[in-house]
Amino acid sequence: MKITKICCIGAGYVGGPTMAVIAQKCPNIQVTVVDLNEARIAAWNDADVANIPIYEPGLDAIVAEARGRNLFFSTEVEKAIDEAQIIFISVNTPTKTYGKGKGMAADLKYIELCARQIARVAKDNKIVVEKSTLPVRTAEAIKSILDHTGNGVQFQILSNPEFLAEGTAVQDLLHPDRILIGGDSSEEGQKAIQALVGVYSNWVAADKILTTNVWSSELSKLTANAFLAQRISSINAMSELCEKTGADVNEVAKAIGMDSRIGPKFLKASVGFGGSCFQKDILNLVYIAKSYGLNEVADYWEQVIIMNDHQKRRFSNTIVQTLYNTVADKKITFLGWAFKKDTNDTRESAAIYVADDLVNEQAQIAVYDPKVSEKKVLADLDYLETRTSAQNKAYVASFEDPYTACKGAHSIAILTEWDEFKDYDWQKIYDSMQKPAFVFDGRNVLNAAEMRAIGFVYHAIGS
């Protein structure tokens, strides 16, 4: 089957970058990314590529190259579905906030809406690809909706989870560790798999394209995120023990990482992992395990989240305790609000929870993040519903410049590992602060000896 038209429902952090790279690498395929969010689509179509809605290093250049040639962003969802041979579903699958499974299960309402819309619109055979992260066996539900409400056309459902990480999305998409495609064992299923393999083969080597059954593919995505998050909680657990014993977590991480069976990546102790997916996907995994009665399996994975929550709370507690058990009316400057460097995404960022704890203690929070606006910072806090919007505004303000943000502060807390923080004039910052001047480095990005030589009381994670 020769693929000439692809559509992707969902122009978010996954749909946008993934389709931009497919369009760049497959100039003979027309790629249309659709979304209900008109503002988001307008931003993707902004004449100035600097204004596309997602900040990812290198993405603007790819969009500039392909947009208008074979990459299109549109709100005409039905037209795009009708024309495409392959339809990627890349909509959000957040944790449910209501009803059965509240706080644990993935909310699949957006997925179901897409399936029903595809069923209604499709007039010829389609390959429907799950790009969103989904509970194992979701393809069964999608197939049931498509087959029972469709116009008698044939649908093949593939699972093709995305493994990109934000901040490195473009590199991850251009040079993936693997592409995973799960499909049905029937002849039609195998043909659909090969059609999608054909798309990726335009730039990914054959030995990196792995094909499996649908359930293995769906479950591999949740498993990969659970293992990655588990490593962070494991090293963070050790960071607390290091602080009590005189061991240094960076040295421990290096020592264990040199064991080729363990490997050096994903062993950076931190204020806790954030991001839209780790927590959501593990909670989903826990829910699935419980729904099969596998309580020990569920408890095992839930501990990864419990440890992460503990690490965030421990960080805010350390700040309060070190500042003589009171931060009321003290200015505490947050350097970084995004959940990691090189992204403007703040979803589940540790910064939000640490700020919430400190505002409970009546601290005045000044935020500087190179890519996050004050509007976003306040919206993130409002979302927690701990207090009114007006109260959040009274305690939290954002600054355009790090030196102004730090001026007069009792303490600085580093919440994101932005590279630029290392290059600041720390002497100048020290001179402008209250004394003693405290730094709580939640990312271990600064040089402890240099900071102490300037005069800072410097606290790192895990040493």
Q: Is residue 351 a contact partner of residue 372, using CB atoms and an 8 Å limit?
A: no
212 is in an annotated binding site: no
For residues 176 and 189, which CB has a smaller minimum distance to ligand UGA in the complex? 176
Q: Residue for token digits 């659709």?
A: 34
Beta carbon of residue 350, minimum distance to ligand UGA (angstroms, whole number): 7
- In angstroms, the first-to-last Cα distance of the chain is 58
269 is in an annotated binding site: yes
26 is in an annotated binding site: no
Inter-helix orientation angle 15-25/59-66, to 10°:
50
Beta carbon of residue 190, minimum distance to ligand UGA (angstroms, whole number): 26
For residues 11 and 351, which CB has a smaller minimum distance to ligand NAD in the complex? 11
| Partner that binds at residue 36, options ligand NAD, ligand UGA, none, CB closer than 5 to 8 Å by kind | ligand NAD
* Window 157-176: residues binding ligand NAD (CB under 6 A): 162, 164, 166
Angle at 298 between CA 296 and CA 301, to 5 degrees: 110
**Using the rule CB under 6 A, is 53 a contact of ligand NAD?**
no
**Using the rule CB under 6 A, is 14 a contact of ligand NAD?**
yes
Show which residues are catalytic.
277
Segment interacting with ligand NAD, rule: CB under 6 A, options 86-94, 237-245, 324-332, 401-409: 86-94
Nearest position to ligand NAD, beta carbon: 12
Q: Show the beta-strand stretches assigned E in 35-110.
A: 71-74, 86-89
95 is in an annotated binding site: yes
User: SS3 for 175?
Assistant: coil
**Using the rule CB under 6 A, is 311 a contact of ligand NAD?**
no
Q: What is the CA radius of gyration of the chain?
A: 24
How far apart CA 59 and CA 55 sit, in angstroms, is 7
Q: What is the DSSP letter of 459?
A: E
How far apart CA 177 and CA 74 sit, in angstroms, is 30
For residues 9 and 439, which CB has a smaller minimum distance to ligand NAD in the complex? 9
Q: Side-chain half-sphere of 20: how many Cα atoms within 13 Å?
A: 28
How far apart CA 33 and CA 11 sit, in angstroms, is 6
Beta carbon of residue 121, minimum distance to ligand UGA (angstroms, whole number): 28
| Partner that binds at residue 268, options ligand NAD, ligand UGA, none, CB closer than 5 to 8 Å by kind | ligand UGA
| Partner that binds at residue 274, options ligand UGA, ligand NAD, none, CB closer than 5 to 8 Å by kind | ligand UGA
Q: Side-chain half-sphere of 357: how many Cα atoms within 13 Å?
A: 18
| Partner that binds at residue 37, options ligand UGA, ligand NAD, none, CB closer than 5 to 8 Å by kind | ligand NAD
Q: Is residue 81 a contact partner of residue 113, using CB atoms and an 8 Å limit?
A: no
Q: How many residues of this chain bind ligand NAD (CB under 6 A)?
A: 27
| Partner that binds at residue 270, options ligand NAD, ligand UGA, none, CB closer than 5 to 8 Å by kind | ligand UGA
17 is in an annotated binding site: no
Type of residue at 164: L
| Partner that binds at residue 77, options ligand NAD, ligand UGA, none, CB closer than 5 to 8 Å by kind | ligand NAD
333 is in an annotated binding site: no
Inter-helix orientation angle 214-245/138-149, to 10°:
150
Find residue 179's DSSP bridge partners: 209
443 is in an annotated binding site: yes
CA 136 to chain centre: 20
Structure tokens at 379: 């919206």
39 is in an annotated binding site: no
**Using the rule CB under 6 A, is 12 a contact of ligand NAD?**
yes
For residues 237 and 305, which CB has a smaller minimum distance to ligand NAD in the complex? 305
Beta carbon of residue 228, minimum distance to ligand NAD (angstroms, whole number): 11
Chosen residue from 24, 32, 70, 93 binding ligand NAD by CB under 6 A: 93
Type of residue at 304: V
**Using the rule CB under 6 A, is 43 a contact of ligand NAD?**
no
Cα-based distances in Å from 365 to 293, 360, 377, 416, 456: 44, 11, 11, 15, 19
**Site for ligand NAD, rule CB under 6 A:** 9-15, 34-37, 40, 77, 90-93, 110, 113-114, 132-133, 162, 164, 166, 276-277
